[in-house]
């Protein structure tokens, strides 16, 4: 690991000495008149609360991981192998949380990971999540497996920041890919996130035990993007001589096969996406230095270091464990985003300190959605941000810039 200067002591700016309108202050104020918070602040309890509210099928779907859950377990353990070391008598105020990626400044270095089929967790599904994202100034990444159309999510997200995640059809369906990209562009999604690790769903015992795959249900829960797509609709009509509505089950199965064809693209195919998307392209699912270097060589603007929360490949290494070597190899060449296993403010700090510029929140916001719809998602985002903000402040770290938040604030405490 390259030694980096601990610049906290050089920090001269007194950012914001007080933050009177923080979530915690609102909660304590409300407590004076006897009001208790409707949802717990113990982030470790959100999963159990969601379980209470969801059907076994839906809970199994979000909680589920591949095989023996080893990759998922490793993701969480990896965070515990680092400790944050605080500096004292640092006169900076509340930390500056702004981060800049792709030439754009974001209020916070977190975003909402793409998560499909959200209507199985709450009737408002993606609409609730996209509204919460706008309210809390957090970027929303819409999944191709969304239960709500590209256009309707954009409307719900309003002036919020939104990116589009592609599950990438094979080349015989290039016309559908172009249609999805142009719809996303027209609806104000600024960054294209291409997920590489999920051309077929992983071996997930929880879903197998429940005999449950939300994507192939005979309704439109996971296929809203396909059913609302003019090119997919036309192709279905041409092939079957009838519209989607007359054979929803076949249309759903064929859409599932279109976006999860069971076969991966190759690196050379990225050119096609570059020709049809004029904004930044980010590859999600990178886990090796070799692939990160290829992403640079193929002209990508960013990567998400992610193992899909351990849902795809069992027996894998923690995503956090590969982050530092990937940052060392390509950190100056493209933007590095991190996800997998982030559960607290301290976890966000650790991933940023190891070199990520932005961190994606996955299951926790879905637990919030299950618990209380839009308000539940807002609670999770506000809690994680509040915890993150105070933990940074109490560590004497004055901003999320790599100048202040880097490996010098971490100590390795386990192997």
Ligand X SMILES: O=C(O)C(=O)c1ccccc1
Ligand Y SMILES: Cc1cc2nc3c(=O)[nH]c(=O)nc-3n(C[C@H](O)[C@H](O)[C@H](O)COP(=O)(O)O)c2cc1C
Closest distance of CB 391 from ligand X, Å: 29
Find out whether 165 is annotated in a ligand binding site. Answer: yes
- What residues are paired with 335 via a beta bridge? 302
Closest distance of CB 120 from ligand X, Å: 9
Pick the binder of ligand Y from 74, 129, 287, 306 (CB under 6 A). 306
- Three-state secondary-structure class, residue 213: coil
Find out whether 204 is annotated in a ligand binding site. Answer: yes
**Residue spans of beta strands (DSSP E) within 335-412:** 335-338, 358-361, 410-412
**Quick one: CA torsion of 76, 79, 81, 86, rounded to 10 degrees?**
-150
Pick the binder of ligand X from 95, 109, 116, 373 (CB under 6 A). 116
Residue 195 CA to residue 285 CA, distance in Å, equals 6
Residue in the structure block whose two tokens are 């096609």: 272
Q: Does 308 bind ligand Y (CB under 6 A)?
A: yes
Q: Which stretch binds ligand Y (CB under 6 A): 25-33, 112-120, 238-246, 257-265?
A: 112-120
**Quick one: CA torsion of 87, 93, 97, 98, rounded to 10 degrees?**
-120
Residue 84 CA to residue 344 CA, distance in Å, equals 13
Q: Does 122 bind ligand Y (CB under 6 A)?
A: no
Pick the binder of ligand Y from 161, 340, 391, 406 (CB under 6 A). 340
Task: Single out the catalytic residue among 122, 308, 393, 404.
Answer: 308
Closest distance of CB 312 from ligand X, Å: 7
Closest distance of CB 308 from ligand Y, Å: 5
Q: What does 160 interact with, of ligand Y, ligand X, none (CB < 5 to 8 A by kind)?
A: none
By C-alpha distance, which of 386, 387, 409 is closest to 397?
409
**Paired tokens of 85:** 């070391």
Closest distance of CB 23 from ligand X, Å: 29
Q: Is 240 a catalytic residue?
A: no
Task: Give just the sign of the alpha carbon dihedral 216, 221, 225, 229.
Answer: positive
CA-based R_g, the chain, Å: 21
Q: Does 198 bind ligand X (CB under 6 A)?
A: yes
Identity of the residue, 173 or 306, whose beta carbon is nearer to ligand Y in the bound complex: 306
Q: Which stretch binds ligand Y (CB under 6 A): 154-162, 237-245, 335-343, 407-415?
A: 335-343
User: Residue 81 in contact with residue 412, Cβ under 8 Å?
Assistant: yes
Pick the binder of ligand X from 308, 379, 382, 393 (CB under 6 A). 308
User: Residue 364 in contact with residue 63, Cβ under 8 Å?
Assistant: no
Q: Which stretch binds ligand Y (CB under 6 A): 79-87, 267-275, 308-316, 386-394?
A: 308-316
Backbone angles phi, psi at 144, to 5 degrees: -65, -20
Q: Does 62 bind ligand Y (CB under 6 A)?
A: yes
Residue length of the chain? 415
Closest distance of CB 283 from ligand X, Å: 15
Three-state SS letters, 120-185? HCCCCHHHHHHHHHHHCCCEEEECCCCCCCHHHHHHHHCCCCEEEEECCCCHHHHHHHHHHHHHHH
Closest distance of CB 35 from ligand Y, Å: 31
Residue 134 CA to residue 305 CA, distance in Å, equals 25
Residue 298 CA to residue 269 CA, distance in Å, equals 10
Q: How far is C-alpha 342 from the chain's CA centre?
A: 10
Q: What does 341 interact with, of ligand X, ligand Y, none (CB < 5 to 8 A by kind)?
A: ligand Y
Identity of the residue, 179 or 195, whose beta carbon is nearer to ligand Y in the bound complex: 195
Q: Does 162 bind ligand Y (CB under 6 A)?
A: no
Q: What does 222 interact with, of ligand X, ligand Y, none (CB < 5 to 8 A by kind)?
A: ligand X
205 burial level (CB within 10 Å; 0-12, 13-18, 19+): middle
Q: Does 108 bind ligand X (CB under 6 A)?
A: no
Pick the binder of ligand X from 50, 66, 97, 117 (CB under 6 A). 117
**Paired tokens of 88:** 């004292």
Find out whether 232 is annotated in a ligand binding site. Answer: no
Find out whether 345 is annotated in a ligand binding site. Answer: no
Identity of the residue, 131 or 217, whose beta carbon is nearer to ligand X in the bound complex: 217
* Pairing state between β 162-166 and 281-286: unpaired
Q: Does 327 bind ligand X (CB under 6 A)?
A: no
Binding site listing: 61, 114-116, 143, 165, 167, 195, 204, 284, 306, 308, 311, 339-343, 362-363
List residues binding ligand Y (CB under 6 A): 61-62, 113-116, 143, 145, 165, 195, 284, 306, 308-309, 311, 339-342, 362-363, 366
Question: Mind telling me the catalytic residues?
Answer: 308
List residues binding ligand X (CB under 6 A): 116-117, 145, 198, 201, 215, 222, 308, 311
């Amino acid at each position: 690991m390259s030694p980096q200067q601990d610049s906290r002591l050089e920090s001269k700016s007194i950012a914001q000495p007080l933050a009177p309108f923080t979530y915690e202050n609102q909660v304590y104020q409300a407590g004076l008149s006897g009001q208790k918070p409707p949802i717990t602040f113990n982030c470790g309890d959100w999963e159990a609360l969601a379980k209470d509210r969801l059907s076994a099928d839906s809970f199994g779907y979000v909680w589920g991981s591949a095989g023996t859950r080893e990759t998922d377990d490793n993701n969480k353990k990896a965070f515990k192998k680092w400790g944050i070391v605080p500096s004292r008598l640092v006169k900076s105020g509340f930390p500056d949380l702004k981060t800049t990626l792709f030439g754009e400044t974001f209020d916070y270095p977190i975003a909402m990971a793409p998560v499909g089929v959200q209507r199985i967790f709450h009737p408002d599904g993606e609409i609730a999540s996209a509204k919460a994202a706008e309210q809390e100034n957090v970027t929303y990444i819409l999944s191709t497996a969304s239960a709500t159309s590209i256009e309707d999510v954009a409307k719900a997200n309003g002036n919020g920041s939104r990116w589009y995640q592609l599950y990438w059809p094979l080349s015989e369906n290039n016309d559908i890919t172009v249609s999805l990209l142009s719809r996303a562009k027209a609806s104000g999604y600024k960054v294209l996130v291409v997920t590489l690790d999920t051309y077929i769903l992983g071996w997930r015992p929880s879903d197998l035990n429940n005999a449950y795959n939300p994507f192939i249900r005979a309704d439109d829960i996971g296929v809203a993007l396909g059913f609302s797509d003019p090119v997919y609709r036309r192709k279905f009509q041409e092939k079957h001589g009838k519209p989607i509505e007359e054979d929803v089950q076949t249309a759903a199965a064929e859409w599932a096969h279109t976006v999860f064809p069971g076969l991966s693209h190759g690196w050379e195919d990225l050119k096609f996406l570059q020709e049809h998307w004029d904004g930044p392209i980010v590859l999600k699912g990178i886990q090796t230095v070799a692939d990160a270097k290829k992403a640079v060589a193929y002209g990508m603007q960013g990567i998400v270091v992610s193992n899909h929360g351990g849902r795809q490949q069992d027996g894998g290494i923690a995503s956090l464990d590969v982050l530092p070597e990937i940052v060392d190899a390509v950190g100056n060449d493209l933007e590095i985003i991190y996800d997998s296993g982030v559960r607290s403010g301290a976890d966000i700090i650790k991933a940023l300190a190891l070199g990520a510029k932005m961190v994606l929140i996955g299951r926790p916001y879905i637990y919030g959605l299950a618990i209380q719809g839009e308000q539940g998602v807002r609670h999770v985002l506000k809690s994680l941000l509040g915890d993150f903000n105070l933990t940074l402040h109490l560590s004497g770290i004055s901003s999320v810039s790599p100048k202040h938040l880097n490996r010098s604030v971490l100590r390795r405490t386990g192997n």
